[in-house]
Structure 1
């Protein structure tokens, strides 16, 4: 019998993630400090509940911020994972 973890890995989703993410490459901005600070990034994966971001440089990212996509869509976010230039976020 195949475990849930193996099935999720084969399907490309983390066993803790309730929604699978779609691969994408969209330019975006991390906006914080009352709209005074902006960091450019790319959205690599996107789901209804969160995203994986790719940064150009190793910079500290605040725990909460607004993610603004190139098309003007905005999401309130919480940083849940950070490894090198990749940041995992959950939409609030």
Structure 2
């Protein structure tokens, strides 16, 4: 979409983002490079097949936008935000549920890493 077709000019930004899809079960990191109240240009950290619609969470703005894929190029994708509205996932109860689930996942990962570190230290002590 050329600049002339946009309703709002996009500002150059450098924001970390996370794309969520498949009802929140899949996610991909991204970098938001241009953004307006109606859309954005994203650089993806992974090449993946994205659905036509997904949620874009931008931690620095503490907002999740419902995004629709408009174009795809080798260097990124362009999206528009559905009526500039936030995703329903930003409702406090859903956000808290998502955060609690993520905390549980991180605690389990932390415990697994501590076990692995203990095993490595034990093996190193035996090797001495």
Structure 1 residue runs of 4 or more that deviate by more than 2 Å after TM superposition: none
Matching residue of 1:41 = 30
TM-score (norm 1): 0.81
Match of 2:8 among 6, 11, 19: 19
Q: Return the offset for 1:70.
A: 1.6
Matching residue of 2:76 = 86
**What are the superposed Cα offsets for residues 38-68 of structure 1, whole Å, 9 maximum, x if unpaired?**
0000000000100000012322221000000
**Greater share of residues in strand:** 1
Structure number with greater Rg is: 2
Does the CA contact (< 8 Å) of 1:29 and 1:39 recur in 2? yes
Cα RMSD, aligned residues only? 1.2
**Greater share of residues in helix:** 2
Distance in structure 1 (CA, Å) of the matches to 2:74 and 2:46: 9
Matching residue of 2:64 = 74
Distance in structure 2 (CA, Å) of the matches to 1:56 and 1:34: 20
Task: Using CA pairs under 8 Å that are at least 6 residues apart, name the structure with larger relative contact order, 1 or 2.
Answer: 1
TM-score (norm 2): 0.59
Q: Answer yes or no: is 1:53 the counterpart of 2:42.
A: yes
Distance in structure 2 (CA, Å) of the matches to 1:57 and 1:66: 16
